[in-house]
Chains A and B, each alone.
Chain A
């Protein structure tokens, strides 16, 4: 459980593979959801009586509905390719954090109840047989391992890049969490937040009046800074663009500086836009818990807001997992979006929007305004491995970097084994960004911190830019554990905001 003091692991001089420490991260896992967190999501409030049976039944249901799950559970040959690829394995040395071992927690139950050999051995009561094929009955120890170790996976997909069959542990941990939710054994953090989205409209529980207040304050700040009336509209009908952004953007540092950046870019592009109080959250925690139904219900808010406000386009702010749900799933979950302007992709990422303007030479930057920083870019896991930007594969790597480079003079990439599709998760993704998992979060950040340290020493990098609300919050928290400063993490559009010169803006240099 939550520990006030966490000792971060030693940084490794060379990326050696750690010696296994079995049960190093064995615990009760994160806080368990109470009935009040479970019920709004249509899950039973607490562990149901015949949960073993129900869990097996739900597993069968999911295997029948998801080809990914069925193929992944059947295909693993335990070759070991993934064993040293997970940041939690690297940071904790717990063997059950090896992707294959994590998968096997579910696979052993699948084998016992849904493969011919497993069923046969189970029926005959031949224990040697179930051992031979690695099958296991559903019981309390299995459930405890599921709860603990499926909440030590940030669903970052790094293992799936290396798997010869593309087995994605993210899909398996989502399925496991869905099963646990269905037997009344959910995680408090995710489910409480989803309930808040249903009730109030966003993860932070920021009600409409408070949101309106905040945005008004931002408009004042923007005018103070630039002398120009840059608008940050809320629920404005008939505008061009609906901006859907993570609610952290509304007040936390460095998120909010990013939001001011979006506002300036929209202003400069001369497009009208609005935020919706109904869909005042880009993140979709329904994905973390593997619930199609909840993910869909959360997504539909965006469709409803777009219809209600009569917009022509939807643009997403900087948010990693949100961009996955938006880019890969939104059309499926809440489409078709035939009522929007077909000239634009639905949805678009704010980086694509800004990048296009840069390409068209429509933005003016004074890069020297960011000269107090030397930057590197952290590819957020879900953006890198589960989405795209632009019209070419790998655009998700190129476009944010081009945006940074348009706004900054000093940029260096981290080691090539830690960026692009080989990027390491920040350590807080996939529903783990909660204080009761602080030890895991600190340890899981190790590989990213090592790569950051290397560019700090080699190129004098001072700041890490990211396009994900979770990454930004996580780094703010864990950077100090590794002797960095919490404000060394910045938003990409914060850099844009600092360097952009609005049309008619009087700058200090002109004075």
Chain B
């Protein structure tokens, strides 16, 4: 096992562990923190089903953002949806495409491939907005720019491998398949662009649970969006508030 293979294998494990454990911890923390008051932004759905639909429109269509600002919506939605397609396309490096279970991954390959451009366009637009719109420049902090630059870097290195200088994809698949089964026989392709790509992806995974990227799990726990409007019908009492009452 060469140095590169060892380094990227370890980096891969570390990134996955930090990402999964970190996000898992935050999710469980959100779930454990009580919401003592009914605070949905009204008008709100009257049923759980309605809330599921409300969250669906927020997560899939960014409905509130659409109402707020069409430019941010176009750029933000384009970036996120393209990123999703790109990520799904990447499944081919992790799964067995011959299995009928994963045949759809083959179908979306061309979409995922060209979604890279939409993703980059969205990111560039968001970055330009941060520089040029006075209000957004005012509220931006250094990590906001860095996050966009990191994502752009991932997108550009990825696109270079797809459209300009192909990497040894068979070798890469062997390497990934290997380290996922804790076997280090297949070595990491010594391709500089690929290294930059993987390095930045792992960095993003590590940063995820410590940054504003927590908006991804956060939206599902946002009381203003996930609560049912039924406060008159059903008494809502947090455990600490119940204790407060008992103490009297």
Contacts and interface: CB of A to CB of B under 8 A. Distances in A.
B42 A387 contact: yes
Contacts of B36: 65-66, 292, 332
B62 A83 contact: no
Interface string A80-117: 11111100000000010010110010000000000111
Given A64-B33, A67-B34, A327 B232 contact: yes
Contact of B235 (A95, A117, A164, A331): A331
B241 interface: yes
Interface stretch (B9-17, B131-139, B157-165, B181-189): B131-139
A332 B210 contact: no
A84 to B, nearest CB: 7
Interface string B39-73: 10111111000000000001000101101110010
Contact of B64 (A157, A164, A387): A164
B93 interface: no
A293 B244 CA distance: 9
A17 to B, nearest CB: 7
B65 A79 contact: yes
Given A81-B72, A166-B58, A167-B224, 14 more contacts: A65-B34, A66-B35, A68-B223, A83-B135, A95-B138, A98-B138, A132-B141, A163-B68, A165-B219, A327-B232, A328-B39, A331-B235, A388-B229, A421-B42
Interface string B168-203: 000000000000000000000000000000000000
A336 to B, nearest CB: 5
A168 to B, nearest CB: 5
Contacts of A76: 212, 215
Contacts of A64: 33
A281 B41 CA distance: 25
Contacts of A397: 43
Interface in B211-246: 211-212, 214-215, 218-219, 221-225, 229, 231-238, 240-241, 244
Given A162-B68, A332-B235, A167 B222 contact: yes
Contacts of A77: 144, 212, 215
B187 to A, nearest CB: 34
Contacts of A293: 244
A134 to B, nearest CB: 4
A162 B144 contact: no
Contact of B135 (A80, A167, A296): A80
A161 interface: yes
A83 B139 contact: yes
A292 B223 CA distance: 17
Nearest to B220: A71
B113 interface: no
B215 A396 contact: no
A68 B141 contact: no
Closest 8 CB pairs of A and B: A75-B218, A162-B68, A166-B224, A134-B141, A81-B68, A393-B43, A166-B225, A80-B136
Contacts of B214: 74-75
A346 B232 contact: yes
Given A17-B135, A76-B212, A161-B64, A132 B142 contact: yes
Contacts of A20: 134-135, 138
A160 interface: yes
A19 interface: yes
A108 to B, nearest CB: 9
Nearest to B146: A132
A171 interface: yes
Contacts of B38: 328-329, 332
Interface string A318-360: 0000000001110110011000000001110000000000000
Nearest to A76: B212
Interface in A50-86: 63-68, 70-72, 74-85
A226 B141 CA distance: 65
- How many chain B residues sit at the interface, stated as a range, is 35 or more
A80 B129 contact: yes
Contact of B33 (A65, A335, A346): A65
A16 to B, nearest CB: 13
A321 B46 CA distance: 21
Contacts of A421: 41-43
Nearest to A345: B232
A157 B142 contact: no
Nearest to A74: B214
Contact of B222 (A116, A134, A165): A165
A20 B137 CA distance: 11
Contacts of A83: 135-136, 139
A78 B135 CA distance: 10
A131 interface: yes
Contacts of B244: 292-293, 296
Interface string A285-301: 00000001100100000
A205 interface: no
Nearest to A168: B224
A161 B143 contact: no
B215 A75 contact: yes
B139 to A, nearest CB: 5
B210 A95 contact: no
B103 interface: no
B37 interface: yes
A78 B140 contact: yes
A75 B29 contact: no
Contact of A116 (B142, B210, B235): B210
Nearest to B238: A65
Nearest to B76: A79
Interface in B101-153: 129, 133-136, 138-144, 146
Contacts of B30: 67, 70-71
A20 B26 CA distance: 36
A394 interface: yes
Contacts of B69: 80-81, 162
A200 interface: no
Contacts of B146: 132
Contacts of A78: 136, 139-141, 144, 212
Contacts of B136: 78, 80, 83
B86 to A, nearest CB: 19
A215 interface: no
A384 interface: yes
B140 A164 contact: no
Interface string A28-67: 0000000000000000000000000000000000011111
Contacts of A75: 212, 214-215, 218-219, 222
Interface string A394-419: 10110000000000000000000000
A83 B65 CA distance: 12
